[in-house]
Structure 1
Amino acid sequence: MTGQDTPLDSDRTTAAPTAQAVRIDTGTPHPARMYDWYLGGKDNYPVDEEMGRQMLALDPRVPVMAKVNRAFMHRATRWLVGRGVRQFLDVGTGIPTEPNLHQVAQQVAPDARVVYCDNDPVVLAHAAALLRSTPEGATEYLQADVRDPATVLDGARKILDLTRPVALCLVALLHFVSDEDGAHDLVRRLLAELPSGSYLMMTHATADFTPEESAAATEKLKAAGVTLALRSREEFARFFDGLKLVEPGVEVVHRWHPELGEPVPGQDDGVIPGYGAVARKP
């Protein structure tokens, strides 16, 4: 892909989307803002911190889980770039936290092209931070929902060449999409439009190791209007049906290709309640 023409090659970084007339609900906790709080960010509100502290009381490892998810994304992105992947579609981007995916990818491959996608107006308000591409590469931000894969793919086509391999990144996203909303089918529909040689990068929270605490967390979030669909290892593995898993396959997040010199504050030898995996489309 390096050195060959791709869509929007003459317009490598498009203008940041506008946040004009966006209404942000500061009275209801939001997963993206809670995640920001767990990571030590400042783009959250008291209602997000309050719910975050309730989650922390149920399981003190929640902030560590947020950090290991970010570390997994960094490792997996570097792994994919090392295998020649130069296009990334990151759905469920979340509030920008540096280094972002495009910064990790473009540090190794300046010509990497990244499309971010999220339905959260808070992310839209910070989208300019996601569009600081290298001159050789490109980034774009789409305001769209994973539950509308056609819109996601239509927007991605404006900057990615979907006839060439793409890494579909769904990091800490699908546990907010229920089976009733067709989580597995949504992933299949997104992958169906990507060519052979594409990859699925994914992490997902689970109740496998902390069933009682997880059940209590699910109920608290449900009462606050937030869906939490914690899935077992087997249910998570189903997202990769028809794909070739990269070794070591489905693994707890911090044990997927651990790298020396990349400790996560607060992480010990215990099991972090989440799975991660990367797989290739044949």
Structure 2
Amino acid sequence: MNDDPLWLAQTAFAALADLAFACTLGALLLAGWLSREQAFAPPSAVLPARQGCRRAARGGLIAAIVLVSCNFVSLWLQSAAMSGVPILQAGASLWLVATGTHVGIGWSVALAGSVLLLLAASGAPLSISRIVSTVLAALIVAAGKSAIGHAADAGAFSFAEGVQTLHLLATAAWGGIVIAGAFVLPALDTSVARAALIRTVARMSRAASLAVVLVVLTGVFNAWRGAAGSLATLTASTWGHALIVKIALVAAALAFGALNRWSALPRLQRSASTMDAHTVINVMRMEAVMMAGVFVAAAVLSHSVPGSALAG
């Protein structure tokens, strides 16, 4: 494990940015779903749905602010790393790095996308402009991040970069839905809002399942490419160790997600009981913890030398 303070700072802010990106997307999705609930729910359930929508909107806005801040700090740290000056003096080379280097341009693209996502988080949940801005912003953020990762070794606009962009989007959608859900859904944990809770969790489960399929498919491609087709690289490097940890955390998150989708949620749909509602939310919280760990492991991966390079 690298103990360089600059590397640790870059990895920490990358992980926080990935978490913020995911939480922004998840919160925006939940805000949209809960806005629809307000239109169709019976009068007794409108207030919990409105409270949940407000909580999601507020969380999405805060996460978007954190994302913008983290991307700017990451660009600043990258300037310090590339110019070889202390962090506090990196501002002098910030513009040159941001506009004159491939990595700097990638960070700048991700920063621009995060600003657009922040603007989207400030709009009405179901407005067309917000939906279009969110989709466009998410693509820009993911594309910018993929352009500065290991996929960039294959060249700009390569197939590897495209796969990594899709992987980042799918992982953010899955993790964001789960983490934001663990924060927002307690607002619906009342008997009068039980039907709204069941419908919302069902929508979350379907969306997360689609994202999981994309995460697994693209993740297998990235892992095989990064390991150069050799399992020996997994035990011979920090990159390999981080990949093993990430796979374990993904597997644990999948287990909790499957428990909710195939056991806890169907039981809640049959009984509509408070105990089963608590079970669904608590299992989702455990899945959220696993997904937070996935983002940390992914940040270590992206800032470590891949196994393919070590293998020559």
Q: TM-score, structure 1 length as denominator?
A: 0.30
Q: Larger % of strand: which?
A: 1
Could you say which structure has the larger radius of gyration?
2
Q: Larger % of helix: which?
A: 2
Q: TM-score, structure 2 length as denominator?
A: 0.28
